[in-house]
Amino acid sequence: MNVRLAAALLCLISPPVFAQGFAGLGTEAGGFAVPENPLTFDFPADHGPHPEFRIEWWYLTATLTAPDGTDYGVQWTLFRSALAPMTAEGWEAPQLWMGHAGLTTPEAHFSAERLARGGIGQAGVTPDPFAAWIDDWAMVARDPVSGDALDALALTARGMEFAYALSLTANGPLIFHGDAGYSVKSAEGQASAYYSQPFYTVTGTITLPEGDVPVTGSAWLDREWSSQPLSEAQEGWDWVSLQFDDGARLMGFSLREADGGRYTSATWIEADGTTQAYPDGALRMTPLAEAQVAGRSVPVEWRVELPDRGLDVTTTPLNPQSWMDVTVSYWEGPIRIAGTHPGRGYLEMTGYE
Amino acid sequence: MVYTAVLTLLSHWRRHPGQLLTLVAGLALATALWSGVQAINAEARASYAEAAATLGQDQLSRLSRADGRPVPLADYIALRRAGYLVSPVISGELRDGPARLRLLGIDPLTAPPQTGAPALEGEALDLAAFFTAPGLLLMTDETAAGALPPDLPPIVLRDTVPPGAAITDIGTAARLLGQADPNYLLVAADQPAGLPPLDEARDLRLQGPSTTADIGSLTDSFHLNLTAFGLLSFAVGLFIVHAAIGLAFEQRRATVRTLRALGLPLRTTLVAFGLELAGLALFSGALGLVLGYAIAAALMPGVAGTLRGLYGASIPGTLSFDPVWALSAIGMTLAGAGLAGLQALRRAAQMPILAPANPRAWAQASARSMRMQALAAGTLLAVGVGFAVVGGSLEAGFATLAALLLGAALILPATLGLILRLASRSARGALSEWIFADTRQQLPGLSLALMALLLALAANIGVSTMVGSFRETFTGWLDQRLAPELYLSIADPGEAESLLAFVRPRAEAVLPIVSTEIPLAGRPGEVFGQVDHATYRDHWPLLAAAPGAWDRVADGEALLINEQLARFAGLTLGDVLEITPDLSLPIAGVYSDYGNPTAQASVTLTRFTETFPDVPVTRFALRVPPEDAPALASALRDDYGLPPDGVVNQAQIKRFSLSVFEQTFSITGALNVLTLGVAAFALLTSLLTLATLRLPQLAPVWALGLTRARLARIEVVRSLILGALTFALALPVGLMLAWVLLAIVNVEAFGWRLPMTLFPIDWLRLFALAMLAAALAAALPALRLARLSPTTLLKVFAHER
Amino acid sequence: MDKLLQIDGLTKAFGPVEVLKGVSLTLDRGETLALTGESGSGKSTLMHLAAALDTADVGSIRLDGIEMSHLNDPARAALRRDRIGLVFQQFNLIPSLTVAQNIAFQARLSGRHEAARCAMLAARLGIGTLTRRYPEELSGGQQQRVAIARALANRPDLILADEPTGNLDEATGDAVLDLLLELVAETGAALMMVTHSTRLAARLDRRLHLSRGQVSAVPRAA
């Protein structure tokens, strides 16, 4: 998940604050905290919000299949964006929340957006028992669990034409990106706290205009927070989460810079949760084919290479028109993987709006 | 060949850039005013259509508590958590002595788009400042300029906010009003799939949007008004174009003659002229579109405010660009330029090759054409009177106006000629004799511009008389009709008794007001139940009353209806009106009811409750000594606990009504001024045109012993004389116009007739304006004449012309 | 100081073109003078300068001892109005006024209007029956007669005529000139007349020839 999108929310709400974000490296613009290496995590508290940081999200993607073999994809995201590094009760709490929900079928893509302010209970996150919600959209701990607070979740969202209700069960540990969760986002050193739960199995129901469809599949949850938007030179981001048939996973992103350069980062995740982080340059992401989406040209097919792992795959979208038609629009949808490591995954591309 | 011909013709403009400017400006102005008005109309109509298509109504539904108390925040959150798209509003009034401000606190994050909330995108608003303390208040500059409570957050001016109110973030409103719970919730028109209907979901009351009639038909008259003004402006603009094209043609007579002598066929000449004209029209039209768009954008917020205030129609205060609009405006410009250029083309077609290149005073007024024009004018005036007599529709009213104005304009040159002839008889001295004779000779060349001036002046007088009469009647009526000092409303009928117990000892009289919406004579209407009280007997202006009307109404034997109902249904005293199958009563009186588009009938409270037992009494009018009203209002709010919206004093209603009224006519005023400006410009261009053509006539007078400065002064005086005479003729035309507006158009459009009041002071002001316009228009040509080199004048004698 | 009109060293240029190059001439009261010359020789310019319609670059023009170059615009207008009668080739009547009004116009401007004199002039010029008509209803010869009546009605000291018969056929022209000379003689005014016709020039007291901006006397016999 991407800093830029949340920064866009911030930008939307507060252009001057956003501009200050570029002021300099390591400064605590506006009194917000910045992630410092090494990070120490404290769960379940860290599953909850960090109001002292400017931006944060709970972001889940699921690749699903119906009994008839049709593939689907689901996205559920809750963003938090702070106008000031504090919480408060009531209407004037300086925390804004934005929810995005997406549902992709081979023929259609649905998206919905909700906005809310903090302090009145319309949206928020509590760590224990875990609950993240905006309006009637929710990601909540399903039962009291012995393991991690995120191990068993119920996920719901509803748009004008669609809805879904999924049950998620983790069968692997939390994994940490970068240097034990300290994920560097640019050569200048902008960084975020970034961990994932990539090992969910999913059952549930998606509701389409045609009716309900039972589905099963797997899901991936990302947690990230920081205070600094991307480097000024970075225009957008192409991000993948890949689940290979052999049980291994890969998270990779490639930040596009104005001069045509790219900053890449990757985390290789073994089936048992062992991770290896790769620095800038180890991962190569090359666009293969573009599609006309919502009036712009978007690279929807990619070649992804990680030579160190002998990885060389191509990705094709379930639906090239997976455009999130929300206030700040972007492409986000399920993909199929072919090549040395076949499987399924999710692709997100921003900065094409 | 055509190319060469066009180039030759175009070369003229290089040497006369001022003339080109005039032509372009004239066409652009005409296009601008016309297209501006069209843009406003189109925008408003589009938004009506949109409202009808998507909502079926003009406003959003609301959820509120039956007892009128605020909706607990927890209830709001529960609704959101259940998935309903509802948006909270905290409203209330800030008071400090006489200063009052109504606050509307909205939540832009959840507000449905129809709310009129400041958009999160595309508007120049610092949203961070809007969301965080101290917040921002959006209000009109008029509200901002009025008396406001102290210690308010920073103010941002927005034209679309209702008068006397401020829109702000709900957080800001909560802090300023000390209230966390929303007063009501706005309900988005579309709700997510799969939720149970909202009215079953909670014990909150769902109120549908309140609307009484199809907005499109109600606002038709307003738009027809604008269209009429747009057409008037367009016509006036065409006068300018006509003058400029005429001049350009006269000056190129010799060129055309030479071209034809050199073998250019007549057809090609005409084609070349046509192409040149089309090119200029396209260019000017495009320019006019830009101007028109700017005018429309500037006027749009006012129009939106008017429509909302007068008709409850919600339209955006902004403008979108419509290519059809642009095309039709350009088409109009082309057609208009063609019309204006027709005469020049015809003359070019009829000109013999060997005609002397001698520019005669451009339309040597033949008495015959003047007679024809007068005849046409007479016919038009007769037609106008015919329409006025037959009448019966808004279209007939406007047809009367059009025929009247056009007829008056057409008869102007003949009338002016007559006056000048009479005046010249009494002229003493060679110079004054010459001035009158010469002015008469110039009439044909100036008549178009003077006709434009007449139209503008008459429209000005007519509209300002109408508005003035309306204002005077309306304020008088408000003073009379709004006799009760305080008006109370409660949300829960069950509260009525405790409220009455609180109020009775403190007020001289408590008058319940109860009404229900019901069709009357097949039209959307409202029935009122009233108690018998001196307040009504003394203060309700009855336009017509049967003997003992009030007594009969009090006895439940008769009813009263408003003027609108009487007019449209053709009801008179004694006729029986059926309200319901159970309630039919004879009409004992007709009362005036300005500012309300719907039909009304009034019966006694007893009759009303018999017929409509389910309609609760939730409104009361209080009579108290005026000086005690503020104290009682405060007591009702603070001691009794009535919500701020529940108590309204008379002064507030009056102020609100008048500000809506003023807003309604502000656009008329703006168009008036623009039209007058265009007319002055038409006069200027005509005078400039004549100035060049008239040199041969002025040169001998100069040679015989008048200085150029003196001649220039005479030119200004002449323009003033013509302006004054035109004004003198415009005055009766304008008053007739006002009469038609008041007695025909208003009756058809609104259903009420207003007495006409005359405002001589306004006439004086307008006369001064007309004189200023005439003087300004003559100033440039006169200045040029005064500074003319003698050599130019001598050329008249020296050259064969 | 006997000279009614005294012109000395008059120079006038229009842009780079020097039209008059030091022209000098005099005119006595009651004298008639013909100015001849080819087109563009400066005849009309000289005429306009003498009529105070234009100003010279160099040189002096005195009318009855009054130096024109010293006068401002209103004074020059007054001079034209009160002392000078003008007759143009194009007649240059005021189209919006009747014949009678045209004849009386200048005299009334200068406050010397005598109805009887105007009537006499109209009668003498053979236009007595046309006084209620407008100029456009008259023939060229009739129009020029009106112009002459107008020039004389004011009892001017000096009559300036620029090709007064130039737009008329020969017979009409001769008749008009006859009347002009006759009336000038009767009123005692001086006449300076521009013409390119030596035949007509010969009928005046004196003749000057203008060539390339310079003037030379032409002996009567020639």
A325 φ, ψ to 5°? Answer: -90, 75
- Per the structure, the complete domain to which residue C182 belongs is given by 29-55+73-217
ipTM of the complex: 0.89
Q: Select the more confidently predicted residue: B171 or B445.
A: B171
Residues B775 and B747 in one domain: yes
Could you tell me if residue C43 is inside a domain?
yes
Confidence of residue A20 (pLDDT cuts 50, 70, 90): very low
Given B623, B638, B670, the domain boundary residue is: B623
Question: Which DSSP symbol is given to A246?
Answer: T
Could you tell me if residue A327 is inside a domain?
yes
Residues B87 and B203 in one domain: yes
d(CA A8, CA A12): 6
Question: Which DSSP symbol is given to B209?
Answer: P
- Answer yes or no: do B706 and C162 touch at CB < 8 A: no
Residues B50 and B65 in one domain: no
Could you tell me if residue A43 is inside a domain?
no
The pLDDT of residue A111: 94
The pLDDT of residue A336: 96
pLDDT digits (tens, 9 = 90+) for B697-735: 888 888 888 888 888 998 898 889 888 999 999 999 889
Could you tell me if residue B403 is inside a domain?
yes
Residue position matching structure tokens 């925390």: A95
Which of A91, A115, A209 minimises the CB distance to B170? A91
Could you tell me if residue B637 is inside a domain?
no
- Answer yes or no: do C92 and B703 touch at CB < 8 A: yes
How far is Cα of residue B427 from the mean position of the Cα atoms in its chain?
A: 44
- Residues on chain C touching B798 (C-beta within 8 angstroms): 44, 48
- Residues on chain C touching B708 (C-beta within 8 angstroms): 73
pLDDT digits (tens, 9 = 90+) for B457-480: 887 888 788 778 877 877 777 777
For residue B156, give the 3-state DSSP assignment: strand
Residues B308 and B47 sit within 8 Å (Cβ to Cβ):
no
The mean pLDDT of C122-141, rounded to a whole number, is: 87
Residues B410 and B451 sit within 8 Å (Cβ to Cβ):
yes
Supply angle C-alpha B315, B317, B322, rounded to 5.
Answer: 80
Per the structure, how many domains does chain A have? 1
- Answer yes or no: do B697 and C94 touch at CB < 8 A: yes
d(CA B442, CA B421): 13
Per the structure, how many domains does chain B have? 4
Residues B619 and B762 in one domain: no
For residue B601, the surrounding DSSP H or E stretch is strand B599-604
Given B167, B182, B207, the domain boundary residue is: B207
Question: Which DSSP symbol is given to A308?
Answer: G
The mean pLDDT of C148-155, rounded to a whole number, is: 88
d(CA A155, CA C203): 123
Residues B182 and B129 in one domain: yes
User: Could you tell me which residues come within 8 angstroms of residue B293 by beta carbon, excluding any fewer than 6 positions away?
Assistant: B35, B36, B39, B319, B321
> In 10 A of CB A156, how many CB atoms?
18
Could you tell me if residue C19 is inside a domain?
no
- Per the structure, the complete domain to which residue A339 belongs is given by 3-22+51-350
Could you tell me if residue C182 is inside a domain?
yes
CB pairs under 8 A between A and B: 83
Which of A90, A94, A120 minimises the CB distance to B132? A94
Residues B800 and B664 in one domain: yes
Which of A83, A115, A160 minimises the CB distance to B109? A115
Backbone CA torsion sign across B369, B370, B375, B379? positive
Taking CA–CA distances from C50, the nearest residue in chain B reads: B703
Interface partners of C (3+ CB pairs, < 8 Å)? B
Confidence of residue B357 (pLDDT cuts 50, 70, 90): very low
d(CA A239, CA A264): 10
The pLDDT of residue A304: 96
For residue C222, give the 3-state DSSP assignment: coil
The pLDDT of residue B646: 76
- Answer yes or no: do B193 and A90 touch at CB < 8 A: no
Residues B459 and B509 in one domain: no
Could you tell me if residue B216 is inside a domain?
no
CATH of the domain at C98: 3.40.50.300
Percent of chain C exceeding pLDDT 70 equals 98
- Per the structure, the complete domain to which residue B99 belongs is given by 61-207
Could you tell me if residue B663 is inside a domain?
yes
Taking CA–CA distances from B696, the nearest residue in chain C reads: C92
Q: Select the more confidently predicted residue: C39 or B664.
A: C39
Residues B231 and B182 in one domain: no
Strands C84-87 and C158-162, sheet pairing? parallel
The pLDDT of residue A272: 93
Residues B772 and B800 in one domain: yes
Taking CA–CA distances from B789, the nearest residue in chain C reads: C54
Residues B186 and B68 in one domain: yes
d(CA B441, CA B370): 12
Instruction: Decide if pLDDT at B517 tops 90.
Output: no
The pLDDT of residue A77: 95
Instruction: Decide if pLDDT at A307 tops 90.
Output: yes
The pLDDT of residue A26: 33
Could you tell me if residue C158 is inside a domain?
yes
Per the structure, how many domains does chain C have? 1
For residue B70, give the 3-state DSSP assignment: coil
Residues B490 and B472 in one domain: no
Question: Minimal CA–CA distance to A334: which of A300, A303, A308?
Answer: A300
pLDDT digits (tens, 9 = 90+) for A50-81: 999 988 999 999 999 999 999 999 999 999 98
Instruction: Decide if pLDDT at A203 tops 80.
Output: yes
CB pairs under 8 A between B and C: 97
Could you tell me if residue C12 is inside a domain?
no
The mean pLDDT of B615-629, rounded to a whole number, is: 83
Could you tell me if residue C22 is inside a domain?
no
The mean pLDDT of B388-397, rounded to a whole number, is: 75
- Answer yes or no: do B83 and A135 touch at CB < 8 A: yes
The pLDDT of residue B58: 44
Could you tell me if residue C8 is inside a domain?
no
The pLDDT of residue B224: 61
Residues B109 and B202 in one domain: yes
The pLDDT of residue B365: 42
Taking CA–CA distances from B701, the nearest residue in chain C reads: C94
User: Could you tell me which residues come within 8 angstroms of residue B426 by beta carbon, excluding any fewer than 6 positions away?
Assistant: none
Could you tell me if residue C16 is inside a domain?
no
Could you tell me if residue A37 is inside a domain?
no
CATH of the domain at A117: 2.40.370.10
Instruction: Decide if pLDDT at A323 tops 70.
Output: yes
Strands B137-139 and B99-106, sheet pairing? unpaired
Interface partners of A (3+ CB pairs, < 8 Å)? B
Are C and A close enough to touch, i.e. 3+ CB pairs under 8 angstroms? no
Confidence of residue B44 (pLDDT cuts 50, 70, 90): low
The mean pLDDT of B348-375, rounded to a whole number, is: 57
Instruction: Decide if pLDDT at B692 tops 80.
Output: no
